[in-house]
Amino acid sequence: MSVLPDPSNKASYVRGMFGRISGRYDLMNRLMTFGQDQNWRRFAARQARVPAHGRVLDLATGTGDLALAVLEVQPSATVIGVDFALPMMQVGQAKLRSRPASPIHFAGGDALQLPFEDETFDACLSAFMMRNVVDVTQAFREQRRVVRPGGRVVCLEVTQPATPLFRDLFAIYFGRLVPAIGGLVSEGDAYAYLPASVQNFLTPPELADVMREAGLHDVAYYRLALGTVTVHVGTKANNQ
């Protein structure tokens, strides 16, 4: 039986799954990426080119790691973190208790229908979100809508390596070892869903085409970690 949910049930499945693993989510990220996921987030944050005192949307913010990476790169920014899995944001809020004046604010919301006016943000970023949405094109359209002209949309996502050898090794690690580790540390079903969702997701060139279809310009992507993660970048044109 497939571990992937039916598209009609995907949103509720994903929301429940992240709610259940929220307490161990950060630990699992550090373990299965050997601590490199934070470097990938910082790389993504740099691609956003957030201006001084810029306003940034961190979509599917989860526990807030990408929002924190944005502040490392641009300390004067204000970040709004949006997610529909409230337990994940509760973990993120706990991280900020030692930062009483933190410019990170959390809000509930759906990536396919964002609760913001047009052209609200200087940049929009997401990390490990796009595999989990029902309509990827609509998610990018919403990101383009809420970004100001000239602003960037940045997507960090797990991808399959292009090289056959690395792809085979990645399949063994992600398909067998990660679910086993997840079963010991967190919830095995969630970390069986992870490799299945990657295997069934778009390739980097296909995802770039979707971004263009959603109205973004100057789309580019950068493969990191032997192609196991990719950062996509697109810009909202000045005349949009």
Q: What is the pLDDT of residues 54-92, one digit of tens each?
A: 999 999 999 999 999 999 999 999 999 999 999 999 999
Query: Could you tell me the residue ranges of all domains in the chain?
Result: 7-235
Average pLDDT of span 17-34: 94
DSSP bridge pairs for 221: 232
Question: Each residue of 107-148: pLDDT tens digit?
Answer: 999 999 999 999 999 999 999 999 999 999 999 999 999 999
Half-sphere exposure of 1 (CA within 13 A, CB side): 4
pTM for the complete prediction?
A: 0.95
Q: In the CATH hierarchy, which fold is given to the domain comprising 7-235?
A: Rossmann fold (3.40.50)
What order do you get walking across the sheet with 104-108 strand by strand? Answer: 104-108, 78-83, 55-59, 121-127, 147-158, 229-235, 217-224
Question: Each residue of 162-219: pLDDT tens digit?
Answer: 999 999 999 999 999 998 988 888 887 889 999 999 999 999 999 999 999 999 999 9
